[in-house]
Amino acid sequence: MTSAHGSRGLDEQAVLLVAGLADLAVTTIGSAVGTLQGLVRRADGPDIARDAQRDLMARGRIALDRYAAAPAAHLEVLARHALAAQHSMAQHTTAPGTAPGDDA
């Protein structure tokens, strides 16, 4: 197989994959539209919409918790910076022969 044939094969695969995804999306959207039309005709439509909104928000929270890294605790970060600065300052200001923290 030459590189031209291999490239054409990959191009064809890409086109087929995109076409398959597009068909799947159209089918899914069509099914969703049919379901929504059925829900709109129901008397408890507003209740269903509220429940769907709550469910989507819960799924959103779960997705964010799963993929987002937890931020560092702000006060803990500040405390670590302060300790590092104190330690650095103590090392630079200590007289020869004395230990940091000696008040002699």
Q: Give me the pLDDT at residue 17, please.
A: 92
Contacts of 9 (CB under 8 A, 6+ apart): 1
| Closest CA relative to residue 32, chosen from 52, 62, 60, 16 | 52
What is the C-alpha to C-alpha distance for residues 96 and 102, in angstroms, rounded to an integer?
A: 12
pLDDT of residue 104: 47
> Can you state the angle between helices 3-40 and 45-67, rounded to 10 degrees?
140
How far is the C-alpha of 57 from the C-alpha of 46, rounded, in Å?
17
Q: Please, what are the averages of pLDDT over each run of 10 residues along the chain (104 residues)?
A: 62 90 90 82 80 89 78 82 88 63 53
Under 8 Å between Cβ of 48 and 54: no
Q: What is the pLDDT of residue 2?
A: 47
The dihedral through the CA atoms of 3, 8, 14, 17 has a sign that is negative
Q: Is the pTM of this model over 0.75?
A: no
